[in-house]
Structure 1
Amino acid sequence: MGIRNRKAYLDADHQFTVVEEEVPTPKPNEVLVRIKANGICGSDIHFYLEGRLGNFIVEQPYVPGHESSGVIEAVGSEVKGLTIGDHVVIEPGIPCGGCGYCKSGRYNLCPDVVFLSAPPVNGTFCDYMTIRHDMVFRIPTTLSFEEAALVEPVAVGIHAVNRARFNLGATAIIIGAGPIGLLTAQAFKAAGGGKAICVDFNESRLELAKKLGIDGVARPMDESLEGAADVVFETAGAKTATSSTFKYCRPGGCVVQVGWPGGNIVDMDIATFLEKELDYVAVNRYANAFPVAIQWICEGKINVKDLITIYYSLDQIGQAFAYTSQHPNEVVKTVVVNA
């Protein structure tokens, strides 16, 4: 029997089927990666529970997953700088590389970007996959594959901080203490920010924020937060959270929209926005953030290990998604390991 390449397909009926397929062969500009670990993203859970996220719809079985780490097993004939045995992470948004956005460094806005795990594009819940060599980043062998699987969400937090406008030592309010909120708060401090305050209803996540070194925690109804921040990061992806961002900001401050509110349309207090002369910027995944994410994790500036709540094997992927979706208040991050 040959080498197994298990692939976990999610269908429109919210069911997983693990099948074995051929191990792919890399093209001249690709590498073959043996996947070792994957994080389950909130977007994966949306597809699992609702069958869609935004304009992406599960119409036929596809492989989710885009928070991945692994080992290079083969390299294409044109690949340089990467070798068999390298420990790596995969950046899942694959741009064309030749358009104006790509050439200007904002390749996340490439109109032809292909994002792994956005239906019908298959993602990383498998044993082996090929990927263009420039979307693979080496990691130290001292970094565990489980922690490395969180490089991708760390990149979101770093890109959010890069999009923000603030001075060194500034105060930030981070709305939402889920994985992206907790990572954004740490990235803000690593980038020279001062006091970071996480706002959430979930007490256990606020306790985790304290453990991670976040300076303050609060509930959304805390009136002392009004006008308290130089920069506000909305990471909860809720309409009420988004509509509250302007009130938390000081005049002349900056609001960074990281979360994606359901329904897309949100009522906003534009009068407050205008009176305070605020900047309001958006975050679309990330660009040029993976190297910094790897560095800051390895240097201990960003703690990802304590975000991992539970582990499953790839053969248990149905259980992993069921448990994660059924315990949203207890689970911060689930990691699926390819045993």
Structure 2
Amino acid sequence: MSPGEGERGASIPRENRPIPEPGPNEVLLRMHSVGICGSDVHYWQHGRIGDFVVKNPMVLGHEASGTVIKVGSGVTHLKPGDRVAIEPGVPREMDEFCKTGRYNLSPTIFFCATPPDDGNLCRYYKHNASYCYKLPDNVTFEEGALIEPLSVGIHTCKRAGVTLGSKVFVSGSGPIGLVNVLVAKMMGAAAVVITDLSASRLEKAKEVGADFTIQVTTETPQEVASKVEALLGCMPEITVECTGVQACIQAGIYATRSGGTLVLVGLGPGMVTVPMVNAAVREVDIRGIFRYCNTWPVAIALLASKQINVKPLVTHRFPLEKALEAFETTRRGEGIKVMLKCDPTDHNP
């Protein structure tokens, strides 16, 4: 949960709220596992991300899974006892973006833990039933919660056009960089090189399938690009930039093969200086992504068939009562994914 105005970054207060009553098309969930995202920490520390400003106390958490304990009168595909993964973005109206299948771009979308919408880091939570997806028996609650970051990788690699034989450069070895490695390899990438400042994060990247790693120290963007080319034996067709750091975006442009694609995933300053003419004259396509859409069924199928293994991403677990310790661990950049366990009777993965 998030502090109110004036308390930012000081604590993670716990608050007793009444158990919500699901509406006709909603389900009430007993929450189980909730992952902490960098955006949760940013709201806690700074009270805003871009134009999204925390004006009132807000419940954090949007990487989540739980068990259905009550269904609304109009819900037919779920029943009490079903284990589900929660897609946090729910369109509020059937606008042009929903009609074209890109509901993530709907300007009125509800999204967990984005002001003013509450998230699901709590014991009990109600959510639109159409955006709760039943988990197969062989997919754990934690895997269900990890579908949210995994979805960023799926959406990104689709937008990037990763295919059989692709050479891919991933910039940044945090959770989002790592899921992009996982998905790119699963989609047929022949070689993936990844960069980061942290040696331990690069070790994790190797563990999940990266072919080459580069620990960046004082290199210029052009030097990073040269190292990427040397390791791959060619310039990559696809670069996935997951840091939002200006120098990394510059390196991404320099590194990408002419006619290739750079996808900007990480969000940094609102204005950055980049070698735009270099990209333009070499026809490097620069694409953005905003969250994801239509990814939960794909992710569940991949996890159930064991095509993708996200379990190594979870490095820390805390009970809900130790939320502050969990958030501090994430803020310090320790481990990869910190998971909060919301059901006091079940702390299993």
Q: Same fold (TM over 0.5)?
A: yes
C-alpha distance after superposition, 1:299-330 (max 9, x if no partner): 333222111111111111111112221x21x3
* Alignment root-mean-square deviation, CA: 1.4
1:224 equivalent to 2:227? Answer yes
1:71 aligned to 2:67? yes
> Percent identity of the aligned residues?
36
Q: Which residue of 2 aligns with 1:4?
A: none
Greater Cα offset, 49-58 or 70-79: 49-58
CA distance in 2, matches of 1:111, 1:51: 21
Check whether the contact 2:162–2:187 (CA below 8 A) recurs between aligned residues: no
1:18 aligned counterpart, secondary structure: coil
> Deviation digits for residues 60-101 of structure 1, max 9, x if unmatched?
211000000000011111111111111101111111351111
Shift of 1:21: 1.8
**Paired position in structure 2 for 1:136:** 132
Unaligned 5+ segments in structure 2 are: 345-349
Confirm or deny: 8 A CA contact 1:31 1:132 kept in the other structure.
yes
Q: TM-score, normalised by structure 2?
A: 0.91
Match of 1:11 among 4, 10, 26: 4
Distance 2:36 2:191 in 1: 29
Asked whether 1:181 is paired with 2:177, we answer: yes
For the residue of structure 1 that corresponds to 2:165, the secondary structure is coil
2:318 & 2:12 partners in 1: Cα distance? 14
Aligned to 2:281: 275
Q: How many residues align?
A: 329
Offset of residue 234 of structure 1: 0.3
**Contact 1:116/1:124 (8 A) holds in 2:** yes
Matching residue of 1:251: 258
CA contact under 8 A between 2:185 and 2:209: conserved in structure 1?
no
Pairing partner for 1:102 from 85, 98, 101: 98
Aligned amino acid, residue 26 of structure 1: P
Q: Distance in 2 between matches of 1:144 and 1:106?
A: 28
Letter in 2 for 1:316: K
Matched, 1:234 2:237: no
Deviates more, 1:161-170 or 1:249-258: 161-170
Q: Which amino acid aligns with 1:252?
A: G
1:169 maps onto 2:155 in alignment: no
> Which residue does the alignment assign to 2:310?
304
* Cα gap change, 1:255 to 1:9, in 2 (>3 Å): closer
Task: Name the stretch that deviates more: 160-169 or 222-231.
Answer: 222-231
2:193/2:213 contact within 8 Å kept: yes
Q: Deviations over 1:275-317 (max 9, x none)?
A: 2111111100000011111222233332221111111111111
Deviations 1:27-53 (A, max 9, x none): 111111111010000100101121211
Aligned ranges 1:40-59 → 2 under 5 Å: 40-59=36-55
Q: Aligned AA for 1:172?
A: V
1:336 aligned onto 2:340:
yes
Q: Distance in 2 between matches of 1:113 and 1:88?
A: 21
Match of 1:111 in 2: 107
TM-score (norm 1): 0.93
Deviation at residue 167 of structure 1 after TM alignment: 4.1
Question: Aligned runs of 1:190-209 on 2, under 5 Å?
Answer: 190-209=186-205
Change (3 A) 1:188 1:97: farther
Q: 1:266, 1:217 → 2: CA distance?
A: 26
Name the aligned partner's letter for residue 336 of structure 1.
Answer: L
Q: Structure 1: state its 5+ residue gaps.
A: 1-7
CA contact (8 A) 1:146 1:337 kept: no
Distance 1:26 1:245, change over 3 A: same
Q: Which amino acid aligns with 1:74?
A: K
Choose 156-165 or 138-147, whichever is displaced more: 138-147
Contact 1:166 1:254 in 2 (8 A): no
Residues 226-267 of structure 1: CA deviation (Å, up to 9, x unaligned) = 462110000112122112211110111000111101x21111
Change in Cα spacing, 1:146 to 1:166, as seen in structure 2 (3 Å) is closer
Q: What SS does structure 2 have at the residue aligned with 1:236?
A: coil
Contact 2:162 2:184 in 1 (8 A): no
Aligned letter for 1:152? E
Report the Cα distance in structure 1 between the residues aligned to 2:131 and 2:293, rounded to whole angstroms.
11
**Per the alignment, in what secondary structure is the counterpart of residue 15 of structure 2?**
strand
Could you say what secondary structure the match of 1:285 adopts? coil
8 Å CA contact 1:108–1:287 kept in 2: the answer is: yes
